[in-house]
Chain A
Amino acid sequence: MGSTLEAAELAAVRADFPLLERTVRGGRPLVYLDSAATSQKPDVVLDAEQDFYLQRNAAVHRGAHQLAEEATEEFEDARARVASFVGVRPGELVWTTNATAGINLVAYAMSNASLGRGGAAARRFALHPGDEIVVTEAEHHANLVPWQELAARTGATLRWIGVADDGRLRTQELADVVTDRTRVLAFTHASNVTGAISDVAAFVARAREVGALTVLDACQSVPHVPVDLHGLGVDFAAFSGHKMLAPTGVGALYGRRELLDAMPPVTTGGSMVEVVTMTETTYAPPPQRFEAGTQMVSQAVAMGAAATYLDDLGMDAVAAHEAHLTGLLLDAVASVPGVRVIGPTDTRDRLANVSFVVDGVHAHDVGQVLDDAGVAVRVGHHCAQPLHRRFGIAATARASAAVYTTDEEIAVFREALAGVRAFFGLTDAAREVVA
């Protein structure tokens, strides 16, 4: 496969996603530009989940029968595929229900360590009054609220890196905001609103200077660009399955092995133990220590299939295709008078999710008019209220592409967007009179 997707390859990709063929709102072809919220699923992923139930369904990591062996092998094989997909070892990848759960897992493990759980080895995770947690103003609520809560439970202070007018993080603030008191630096790899890709190297370098742990929200990056978590050097990273062509209900948390080894458990119960007596319990090594109770085996298997699907396409080709779409989306939005992008307007270090506001028209109303043309976009604050507040707005509309998005779909989006202001009686002629 070449460096980007050829027309025939893209047609083949689209044929893998049956949902993309449906129509909406009175027979209009669906133009799905909401992949940053959740992606559509290819046949191979759906088949993997169904095949598991039809052929190998059994409880994993217990039972000596053949089905249990096959189920366990498939479950662990999926872990290995997803781990390899993001450049880490299988023993460093914990299954979670979603990325939010992964980030909360780290926050609550630190909370437990702060209470003395996990013994001496876990002291590196303990927070006390005077310690600081640093996030950014661009975070999805999933990488903000758990840290607010951890600060409230431990007496630590929450600080943050700001966002510049172009939507990019003010990386230069790292030197002042991240200090010897900083214990955790939690930041997004790419904003789900602005699409801006963070300078991970600068964040990791500053965190290492002060001995802080890094936690990366990799939800938006992993499905769209090649991600090598070992190469990035972060300590933890969370991402979800459903944004990377896999089902809902499954995600993954990466933790550097020595950190996972030292980290106390969060959810306790079956499957995560070694020896249990009536008074005390010793815990299994990671990743099982963090996987209490029956796991989402079929979804994990399907997430493994999704990783393989993307690997087969080649993430370089996926990224190149989406970089091309980013340019088209930015051009489309720029070509319509009265529309303003919230985020970088150049394609450098940027993903294909473009948020925008339309002068005089609320995002909900924008979305409704686009929907009438069959174009599905997200409207609202996209779980990033502080970022919207930063720009003095309550809501944006967001068009986001994925590997299956075509040039033609973005043209339909542009056409529909061009009609929005006229529909609400805000014609360009009227604007000129006012001006």
Chain B
Amino acid sequence: MTGSMEQLYQQVILDHAKYPHGRGLGESVEGAHSAQSHQVNPTCGDEVTLQVDVDDAGVVRGLRWEGQGCSISQASVSVLHDLVLDQPLETVGSLSETFRALLQSRGAGLDDEKAEDALGDAAAFTGVGRFSARVKCALLGWVALNDALIKTGVTPNHPEDV
């Protein structure tokens, strides 16, 4: 195996793919604004259904998902689950932006070390950026999250939040 393969399939990615977190759809968190999004990667058939619950204060209180696909796509949703649960939407937005920037860095990583540290396990996806065909695999869960959050109708600048 070449080094780029080891960088693509970091152990943390393989672990999340094997033992995913937050998997299994279920009841919404009571009193929260809940929504669901189903996303498909039409070129390979990978799919993710993601449910998210956001409370009135704009904090993610629940996140569950179901899906099938490659290790990159499934591990990415598992990592996403750990990152955004219990986080305010402002933080979720910046994590999402940082993750996209990381994947667009073609494997180089981010200059902003602090931002990259905030990604936690998601920083392991740096190597995916070298394989342009796989970037969309890693983003599938994030696209579903973004879509579900819009559907909840709760925005980071929620009036009750101010």
Minimal Cβ-Cβ distance residue in A for B1: A372
Number of A-B contacts (CB under 8 A): 59
A364 interface contact, C-beta 8 A: yes
Known: A362-B69, A364-B72, A394-B68. A388 touches B14 (CB 8 A): no
A369 interface contact, C-beta 8 A: yes
Q: How many residues of B contact A (CB 8 A)?
A: 22
Residues facing A in B102-151 (CB within 8 A) are: 131, 134, 137
Known: A394-B69, A425-B18. A368 touches B45 (CB 8 A): no
Contact of B44 among A364, A372, A425 (CB under 8 A): A364
B162 interface contact, C-beta 8 A: no
Chain A residue numbers with a CB within 8 Å of B1 are 369, 372, 419, 423
CA distance A388 to B68 in the complex (A): 14
Check A395–B44 contact: CB distance below 8 A: yes
Chain B residue numbers with a CB within 8 Å of A365 are 9, 70-72
Q: Contact mask A358-391 → B, CB, 8 Å, 1/0?
A: 0001111100110010000001110001001000
Minimal Cβ-Cβ distance residue in B for A27: B2
A residues at B contact (CB < 8 Å): 25-26, 361-365, 368-369, 372, 379-381, 385, 388, 394-395, 419, 423-425
Check A26–B2 contact: CB distance below 8 A: yes
Residues facing A in B36-78 (CB within 8 A) are: 43-47, 68-73
Contact of A424 among B2, B14, B45, B47 (CB under 8 A): B14
- A interface majority secondary structure: mixed
CA distance A395 to B71 in the complex (A): 13
Check B2–A394 contact: CB distance below 8 A: no
Chain B residue numbers with a CB within 8 Å of A368 are 5, 8-9, 131, 134
Contact of A388 among B9, B18, B45 (CB under 8 A): B45
Interface centre among A25, A388, A394 (most CB of B within 10 A): A394
Chain A residue numbers with a CB within 8 Å of B68 are 394
Q: List 22 A-B contacts (CB under 8 A).
A: A25-B2, A26-B2, A26-B4, A361-B71, A363-B44, A363-B70, A364-B44, A364-B72, A364-B134, A365-B9, A365-B70, A368-B5, A368-B9, A379-B44, A385-B45, A394-B45, A394-B47, A394-B68, A395-B44, A395-B45, A419-B1, A424-B71
| 18 more A-B residue pairs beyond the given contacts A372-B1, A423-B5, with a C-beta to C-beta distance below 8 A | A26-B2, A362-B70, A362-B71, A365-B71, A368-B5, A368-B8, A372-B2, A379-B44, A381-B44, A381-B45, A385-B45, A394-B44, A394-B45, A395-B44, A395-B45, A424-B14, A424-B71, A425-B14
Question: Nearest-CB distance from A248 to chain B (Å)?
Answer: 18
Question: Nearest-CB distance from B138 to chain A (Å)?
Answer: 11
CA distance A380 to B131 in the complex (A): 16
